Amino acid sequence: MTSRRDFLSQPAPENYVAGLGRGATGFTTRSDLGPAREGPSEDQIKAAVAKRSAQLGLTESKDDDNDNDDAARYQDPDNEVGLFAGGIYEKDDEEADRIWKDVDDRMAKRRQKQREAREEADRLEYERKNPKIQQQFAGLKRALETVSDEEWASLPDVKDLTGRAKRERQARMQRFYAVPDSVLAAARDTGQFGTTVADDGAANDANKDGTVTDFAKIGAARDKVLRARLEQESQSSGTATAGSATSIDPKGYLTSLSSMQGAEQSIGDIEQFRKMLKSAVDSNPKQAASWIAAARLELTAGKPVAARNLIAKGCEHCPKSEDIWLENIHLNENRNAKVIAARAIEANPQSVKLWVEAMKLENDPRSRKKVIRKALDHNPESEALWKEAVNLEEEVEDARMLLAKATELIPESLDLWLALARLETPANARKVLNKAVKKLPSSHELWIAAARLEEQLGESTQRPVMKNAVKFLAKQNAMPKREEWIAEAEKCEDEGAPITCRNIIEETLGWGLDEDDDRKEIWMEDAKSSIARNKFETARAIYAYALRIFINSKTLYLAAVDLERNHGAKEDMWRALERAVVACPKVEIFWLMLAKEKSSDIKEARVILARAFMQNPNSEDIWLSAVKLEADSGFIDEARDILATARHNAPTDRVWMRSVAFERQLGNSDTALELVREGIKLFPSAPKLYMMKGQIYEDLCQLAEAREAYSTGVRAVPSSVPMWLLYSRLEERNGNVVKARSVLDRARQAVPKAPELWVELIRVERRASNLTQAKSLMAKALQQMPKSGLLWAERILNLEARTQRKALLAEALKKVEDDPILLVTVARILWAERKLDRAQSWFEKALLLDRDMGDSWAWYYKFLLQHGTEEKRKELVAKCILNDPHHGEHWQAIAKDPRNANKKPEEVLELVVASLK
C-alpha cells in the first residue's frame, strides 16, 4: 500500500485560490490561523477572465488586435487604405520625398568623420579590454622559445581524464565466440542467382533452392537507375522533373555549353545532354532557348549539318524569336545567311538586331545603305539604326542631313544631338544645342558640350555657359551630384578641354555643401582622389576653388604646392609659392621653400629672404636658411657673419648648433669646441650640443673627453635616445662590451619604450656571439612593443632561420601598420628569393608610405642597380632629389658626416648604397 495521499487529502499549493479562473476571490475568517491573505487585485481578475475567454474562443486575443493595428499602420504606402486610399502620388509628393531624403543624407553626413573616429576608438578600446584567447597567450607562446630541452623533458605527464581506464575495463568484459564455417557459407549463398543452365534445361546444383535469373527485371532495374541518374543531372544544372518526362532549363544550359567550347567532351556526356535537350524541345517546342542549346550542342559535337537542321526547325516553331533567327544566321554561310535573314525580317520587321545583322552580311557600302534605309522605313524611331546609317555615310553633309532628320524623329536622343552639333559649324552648333536643351531640359551633357564649343572658339570668358547651366539645371530640379560633376570635369580634361574642366569645378564644387560640412577636408579628399587617377588639372582647379574660400589655409597651400612640385612645371610651383607667401606671410615654410627654389639665382633668393625677414623678424628658420644660402654659394665669411648676428638677435639652441656644425664642417675644431661650450652653458638641456661635443672629441681621438661629454649629456638629458646610442657605440668600439651593455640597460630604464635602444642592445649581444641572449631580449622587446617595425625587421633578418621568415612576416604585417622599415624588409626578402616584381612593388609601397625615409630610397636604388633599367634608375634619382629625404639609420649616418656636408641628395644616395650590406 502506497504512502502517497490522495488528491483531496494533499495540501493546497501556495497562494492557491479556489475558483480564481471563474472570478472567485479568496477570503479568510477569524478561525483561520495566521494573518489573512489579500485576494487578487481587480486587474488580475480582469486579466484572468480575459485569458479564460480567449482560451474558450469567446473573444479575440488583444495581441492580435495590436498586431493588426501595427500592420495597418506600417502597410505599404503604395497600397494605402482608409483616409489616403484615394490619394494620388503626384510630382509634389515626389519632390517632397526627395527633399526629405536630402535632409536625411545631410544629417547623416554631418560630423561623419568624427563619429567614425569615435566608433573606431571605442572598438579598439573594447578589443584592448576584451582580447581574444590567442592574443592573451601570444606573449607566453613567444616566450616558449627560451625553454631549454631539459626543461621540456622535465615536464610531468598529464593525467588520464578521458575515461580510458573505464573503456579498457568494458573491453575486457566483452566476449567473442568463433562462428562455424557453415554459417558463413550459408550467409554467402543467401540471395545469389545461378547463371548456368544444364543440358536438360534444369538448374544446376547452385539453383537447387528454386531461384532463377530474371533478365527482364535486371533490364528494368538498369533503366530505373539510368532514369534516376538523368533526373539527378537535370536537377544539378537547374532542371526540374515533371511526371515521367525530364525538362531542363535551356537558358542555364547555354552557359554550360559556352564553357564546353574548346574542351573535349566524352561521347557519354554528349549523348546524355542530347537526350535532355530533346526532352526539353519535345515538351515545349515554342521555347527558342531549347532549340538554340540543342543546335550548339551538335555544333560542339562536330555536327554542323545537324545543328543547322535543328535550328531551322526551331525557326519554324518560333518565328517571332529574334535570338533563334540570329543563331540560324550565324550557323550558315553568307549566301544562305542572307536568305535566312530575309525570312527573319519578313517574320520580324520591327527587330533592329535582325536588320543590323542583315546589313553586316552585305559586302559593299551601297548595299548596306540600302538595307539600313529599308530598316528605317520600318523602324523610323530606332536610335541604333540611325547611328548605323550615319556611320555608313562618307560625306559630312550627308551625315549632317541624316542626323538632322534623326533628331526630328527622335528628339529625346542625347547622342544624336551631340553628334549633330559636332558636325555643324560653330554658329549652327549653338543653334542645335539650344534646340537640344529645349527638348532635353534635364541633360547636363548638352551644357558641357556648349561650354566646350565656347572654349574651342576662344569665347569661354565672354559666355559663362557653366554658370548659366547651374542656374538652369537647379531650376529644373535636374542638378547632378557634386561627384558626377567632378567626373565630367575629369572627362573634359582627358579630352583636351582644360578651361571647361576648370569652369565645371568652379561652378559646381560647392554645390550641396554648407559651412558646417567640413568643406575643406571634403575638397582635399576630392583633389587627392583626382591626383590618384592622374587628373592633375582637375585637382589643380579644386585647390584653386578651395583657396578662394579658405584664403589663409596653410594646409591647402601646402597641398597645392606639393601638387605643382610633383606634377607641374617649376614656373607653376613658383607661382603657387608666391601666392602662398602673399596669403600667409607669417608662415615661414613658404618663404623657405620659395628661397630654396630660387637658390640658383642668389640675388633673387636674397631678396626673398629679405622680404621674409620683414614679415618674420628674428626667425631662426629664416636666419639658418640665409646661412645655408650663403654657404652653398661659397660665401663663407658672409655665412659666418650671419651666424654671429643670429646668435645675438635670435639666440636659440638651433642657431648655436648650426654655428658649431658650420665650423666643424670647415675643419675648425677649436672654434667649434669653444662655441659648443658656450652653447651648453646657455642651453644645458639641448642634447645635440652634448652629442656634437662628443663627436668633435672623437674626431680628435680624445676618447676620455668624448666619454665624459656623453656621460654628462645623458645625465643632463636622460630622454635623448641618440645620445645613449652614441655613448654605447663609443664603448663598444673601444672593446668594452660590458660597459656598452651597462649603458644600454641604463638607457632602457630611462626610456623604456624606445625600440632603437632594444635593437642596439640585441645587436651588441649578437656581435658578441651571444645569440641566445639576443633572442631572449627580442622576445621581451616584442612583448612591450609588438607594433615596432624596427624590432620585427631585426628579428626576421638577423635572429631567425630563413625557413621561418614567411610565417614571421605574415605575423608582423598583421600587427604592424604602415611601417616603412618592415615594408623594406619584406621587399628585401622577396628580392633574395628572386621574386623581383613583387619586391619592386613592396619597395614602391614603402616609398609611398614615407618619402622622407632615406634608407628606403637607398635599398630601392640598390635593387634597381641590379635588376632595373637605366630609365627607371634616373626616374628614382629624380624623385629622391625632389623629396630630399632626411631620416633613416644609414642615411643619417652618411648625410650628417661633416665630410659630406655640401653633397647633393644624389651623391648622398650613392654613398648610402655603397655602405649597405
Q: What is the pLDDT of residue 201?
A: 43
- Judged by average pLDDT, the poorest of 165-174, 253-262, 368-377, 779-788 is 253-262
| Among 186, 208, 209, 206, CA closest to 195 | 206
3-state secondary structure of 227: helix
Element (H, E) at 716: helix 703-716
Tens of pLDDT, residue by residue over 15-52, are: 677 776 666 665 555 555 444 455 667 777 778 777 77
- Confidence band of 4 (pLDDT split at 50, 70, 90): low
How far apart, in whole angstroms, are the C-alpha atoms of residue 383 and residue 390?
11
Averaged pLDDT for residues 301-330: 88
The answer, yes or no, to whether residue 866 has pLDDT greater than 60, is yes
Averaged pLDDT for residues 839-862: 92
How far apart, in whole angstroms, are the C-alpha atoms of residue 785 and residue 772?
20
Amino acid, single-letter form, for residue 366: R
Tens of pLDDT, residue by residue over 122-158, are: 888 888 888 877 777 777 777 788 888 778 777 776 5
Q: What is the pLDDT of residue 36?
A: 45
Q: What is the pLDDT of residue 242?
A: 37
- Judged by average pLDDT, the poorest of 22-36, 594-608, 705-719, 816-830 is 22-36
The answer, yes or no, to whether residue 861 has pLDDT greater than 90, is yes
How far apart, in whole angstroms, are the C-alpha atoms of residue 470 and residue 493?
20
Give the percent of the chain with pLDDT over 90.
Answer: 21
Q: What is the pLDDT of residue 1?
A: 46
385 or 739, greater pLDDT: 739
Spatial CB neighbours of 892, under 8 Å, sequence gap ≥ 6: 854, 886
81 or 897, greater pLDDT: 897
Predicted TM-score (pTM) of the model is 0.56
In three-state form (DSSP H/G/I as H, E/B as E, the rest C), the secondary structure along 719-741 is CCHHHHHHHHHHHHHCCCHHHHH
Tens of pLDDT, residue by residue over 464-485, are: 888 888 888 888 888 888 889 8
Tens of pLDDT, residue by residue over 486-532, are: 999 999 998 888 888 988 898 888 887 777 668 888 899 999 999 99
Contact predicate 322/341, CB 8 Å: no
In terms of average pLDDT, the best of 297-301, 406-410, 742-746 is 742-746
| Among 277, 295, 205, CA closest to 237 | 277
The answer, yes or no, to whether residue 302 has pLDDT greater than 90, is no
3-state secondary structure of 556: helix
Contact predicate 113/518, CB 8 Å: yes
Spatial CB neighbours of 396, under 8 Å, sequence gap ≥ 6: 423
In terms of average pLDDT, the best of 66-70, 564-568, 764-768 is 764-768
How far apart, in whole angstroms, are the C-alpha atoms of residue 745 and residue 751?
10
- Confidence band of 413 (pLDDT split at 50, 70, 90): confident
> Rounded mean pLDDT of the chain?
80
Helices marked H in 462-553 — which ranges?
A: 465-475, 482-494, 498-508, 519-532, 536-549
- Judged by average pLDDT, the poorest of 54-63, 674-683, 864-873 is 54-63
The answer, yes or no, to whether residue 574 has pLDDT greater than 60, is yes
- Confidence band of 259 (pLDDT split at 50, 70, 90): very low
Averaged pLDDT for residues 262-290: 75
- Confidence band of 239 (pLDDT split at 50, 70, 90): very low
- Confidence band of 59 (pLDDT split at 50, 70, 90): low
753 or 89, greater pLDDT: 753
